[in-house]
Structure formats: structure tokens, C-alpha cells
Amino acid sequence: MDEARLITPLLKALHFAADKHRDQRRKDEDASPYINHPIEVAELLARVGGVTDLVALQGAILHDTIEDTDTSPEELEREFGPDVRRVVEEVTDDKNLPKPERKRLQIEHAAHISRPARLVKLADKISNVRSVTLTPPARWPLSRRQEYLDWTEQVVGRLRGTNSSLEKLYDELLAEGRRVLSALAPETPG
Ligand code: ZN
């Protein structure tokens, strides 16, 4: 395959996402640039998951543009086509709903989304588990970090059977995250 047919659209997605997320920072102590996260998600898909599907890779790079920037679904379709639009919409929370409901719906929906959307969601949870373990949001208490890990386990439980390499890495990072966080927890007496 002509490599430019993969590389050019990937770089276009990267350019688009970098521009859309340009003023955003992550919630970690160093306030790292937001774009690092979608880059990591796409890189995990390619390197760990062996994914070469362009829709999944573009979907990974663009996965937070509707949820967290002014990007509309129509704009994504115009720039990247209907398949990429659908994948991003499938991994986008409805921000009109209260947070607990959104989290519950992610678990419920995970079982029913398309294969490229499942791949993106798996890599997204890997990236987030790593962040919550190593570079957590500055204001999150330990209990919130532990609850977050527990919730990702429920979402990923609905995604099993999608990509064994990604699932294995998720399992390792979850176990590592729980070890790190329990070492931070005060001893419970008795
Ligand atoms: Zn994400």
C-alpha cells in the first residue's frame, strides 16, 4: 500500500486535533498539553495493538474533539468522512447528562459500539489509568483515583475480546495502579 495514503490522513487528523485542543491542558500538576493524550491513545493502538485501520487511528487522534472542543459532528464528517465521525460520536459522552449518569452509560454502551470505537475506548482507558496512577489530576483525593480505576475496569469488562494485547496492557496497568495507590493509603487499623 502507498504509505502516503495512511500517513497523510493521519497527519491531517493530528493537525486538526492539535489546533482544536490548542488552549487546553490536562488536570495534572504540570498542566501538560491536552494533545499529548490523544497522541498517546493513537500510539498505543498502533504500537501495542498492532492496529493499522485508518478509521480507528484517526478516531483515536480525534476522539475528544466533540466532547471537549467546539468541533461539531458535521465538521468531522466534512473533514474526515462519515466513518470517522461515527467512531468519535460513539466514544463521546453526552455532556448534558449529570456525571454519574454519563459514567453509567459508558459501561452500558461499551458492549454495543463498533470495533474501531472499542479499540479507541480501550486505549483511552489505558491512557487514563496510567495518568490517574502516575500524573493524577492535582485536586483528586486518593479515594477518587481508586474509584476511577474501579470504574474503568467495568467499562473494559464490556470491551473484552477486542484486542488481547491492549487488554493485557490494561490489566497490567490496572494492577500496577492499584499497587501504587494502596501504598499511598493510610494503614487501616486491625
Ligand atoms: Zn480520552
The full set of domain ranges for the chain reads 3-184
> Ligand 1 centre from 124 Cα, in Å?
5
The active-site residue, picked from 28, 43, 53, 68, is: 68
For the question of residue 75 being annotated catalytic, the response is no
Q: What is the pLDDT of residue 48?
A: 98
Q: What is the pLDDT of residue 3?
A: 81
Q: What is the pLDDT of residue 4?
A: 85
The C-alpha atoms of residue 183 and residue 170 are separated, in whole angstroms, by 20
The active-site residue, picked from 28, 53, 67, 89, is: 67
User: Which protein residues have their CB within 5 A of the ion that is ligand 1?
Assistant: 64, 124
> Ligand 1 centre from 73 Cα, in Å?
17
> Ligand 1 centre from 64 Cα, in Å?
6
CB 66 within 8 A of CB 95: no
Return all residues near 179 (Cβ < 8 A) that are at least 6 apart: none
Q: What is the pLDDT of residue 190?
A: 57
Fold of 3-184: Hypothetical protein af1432 (1.10.3210)
Closest by CA to 58, choosing from 19, 110, 16, 99, is: 16
In a 3-state reduction of DSSP, which class is residue 58?
A: helix
pLDDT in tens, 38-53: 999 999 999 999 999 9
For the question of residue 70 being annotated catalytic, the response is no
Residue corresponding to grid cell 470517522: 84
CA–centroid distance for 143 within its chain: 21
pLDDT in tens, 66-94: 999 999 999 999 999 999 999 999 999 99
Q: Which residues of the chain have pLDDT under 50?
A: none
> Ligand 1 centre from 77 Cα, in Å?
19
